[in-house]
Structure formats: C-alpha cells, structure tokens
Amino acid sequence: MTTPSPFPDSMRCVVLIGIDFDGPSHEVGRGIAPLGKESCGRYSARCGIPRHLEMLARHGVPATFFVPGYDAQQHPQVVQEIDRCGHEVAAHGYLHEAWNLESAEEEQLLKKTDAILRELINKPVLGWRSPSGRKSDATLGVLKSMGYIYDSSEKDFDRPYVARFGKGPDDTIIELPNNAYSLDDFPFYKFSYTPPSEVLVQWRAEFDSIYRSDRFFVLSVHPRSGWGSGTPSHTKVMSDIITYMKGHDGVQFFDSRTFAKWCIANSSKLEELSYV
Ligand SMILES: [Zn+2]
C-alpha cells in the first residue's frame, strides 16, 4: 500500500496467530455424526490444541483461539486450559454456522456462545471470527452491543482498520482482516493436498512480502487432523514459520484482543472504511 504505515518503527511487523478450534461442531452443525472419518474435530480438542499449546509455550508467543460455543460445551477443560495458558479465547459461532441465519436467531446464537465462553473463562470475550466466513449486515452491531471490540472475518484489506457499520457515532468496531486463502491451512491441506514442507515455503514467501510492505501478518489455522494443523508434521510447520518470523527484526506477536486495544488507542492512525 502507498499510504504510510500506522505502525511505529519498533513494530516492524505485527503477527497475529488465530487458531480456529473447529471441533465436532463443524460436523454436528451440518447434521453429520462426528464419528469415523468425520471425527477430525474431536482430534482438535484431544490432540491438536494441546500440541499447539505446547508449541506456543516453547516459542513464548501468544495466540487467539476462536471457539464455537458447542465445542466449548463438549470440551470445557480444553477451553479453560487455553485461557490458563494465557491465550485469548474468542467466539466462532455456536455450531460453526456456515449458513444464513435470520437476524433474531443470529443474535440469539451470538449471545449464547458468548455466555458459554464467558462463564468458562470468567472474563469478557472481546472478539469474533465468522465461521466459514458467514456474516450478515446485523452481525457487527450485535457484537458491538455485547461489548466486543473487534471482528476478524473480512478479506477486504491488507491492514487493520476501523470498520463503520452504521451512521451513529459509536457504530464502529476494529476489523482485523484475515487472508483465508494463502495464509490459512485449510485450502492447502483440503483442496491442493500441498505437502507440509511446501506450505512452509508458501507461508515464508507471504511473510517476506508482508514484512516489506503492509507489515500485518495474520495466520489462521485449525488444529484438526485431516485438513488442519493438529497433526505432528503440520504443527511443526506452524513451529517452523514462527521460528522463521522470530528471526526478523521488529516482529511483534500479539493476541488479537491485545492488538485490537492497540488499534483503539491509535485509531486516528488507522483508515476508517465503511460498510454503509
Ligand atoms: Zn472455523
């Protein structure tokens, strides 16, 4: 981008690691019994998330775990362990709703998941990522009314921005856009069957470009087996890209809520982009 970066020189590149829990809700929400070849979501809770927590602790970097409410009900101790390890727990739908919802139902599900997560971790939930990219005109207004400070769902910009979703003075929220194509494990492992070693090459190339340009690197992964990053060789790709990024000057890792608070404090430096 040609506009000046909003980041100070000390913040050479911001890195946000988003880990979408995507447990059995992913199948149950679609009416599929999470058994046999459809059980990859339970792997997330049983193996993938513990493996990611261990890997993140080894590196000493924070992450944000986006958790569907149903998965939190099925695996409450896993969500509490994420919080206990100091990582952020944020919302990711109830049954990972990837289909359109009526406004009243959407609001009810957003509040239901929020209540489940808040009760488990005993602290407010401040952010949301849409499951499978689903969102409506009403979503951001409901999130803002619930006290959320950011959304991380849009694919429409290279940097964080102030998203205006209404005409009122408070109708804004911080948007932390994520690139769900090249900076996501899903397309590589689900569609192109890219080997882990090649995924690392791709992510390193993305980082090299971003480090020189927009300085905002948002990586989204899923700790499932199958198309996710939960298995040992796939989690090693995560570890290797973190090692690579840590080798560059001025790389700062944040969880999304901490970085969203930085964005709010520095909102005059961010672009305001409107949906209305
Ligand atoms: Zn998801």
SS (H, E, C) the chain: CCCCCCCCCCCCEEEEEEEECCCCHHHHCCCCCCCHHHCHHHHHHHHHHHHHHHHHHHHCCCCEEEECHHHHHHCHHHHHHHHHCCCEEEECCCCCCCCCCCHHHHHHHHHHHHHHHHHHHCCCCCEECCHHHCCCCCHHHHHHHCCCCEECCCCCCCCCEEEECCCCCCCEEEECCCCCCCCEHHHHHHHCCCCHHHHHHHHHHHHHHHHHCCCEEEEEECCCCCCCCCCHHHHHHHHHHHHHHHCCCCEEEECHHHHHHHHHHCHHHCCEEECC
- pLDDT, tens digit, 9 for 90 and up, residues 96-149: 998 899 999 999 999 999 999 999 999 999 999 999 889 999 999 999 999 999
Cα of 116 to ligand 1 centre, how many Å?
A: 17
Cα of 71 to ligand 1 centre, how many Å?
A: 11
Cα of 72 to ligand 1 centre, how many Å?
A: 13
For the entire predicted model, the pTM comes to 0.97
Cα of 265 to ligand 1 centre, how many Å?
A: 29
Mean pLDDT value across residues 10-31: 96
The reported pLDDT for the residue numbered 276 is 81
- pLDDT, tens digit, 9 for 90 and up, residues 209-260: 999 999 999 999 999 999 999 999 999 999 999 999 999 999 999 999 999 9
Cα of 8 to ligand 1 centre, how many Å?
A: 32
Cα of 18 to ligand 1 centre, how many Å?
A: 10
Could you give the domains of the chain? 13-274 (3.20.20.370)
The reported pLDDT for the residue numbered 180 is 84
Cα of 20 to ligand 1 centre, how many Å?
A: 5
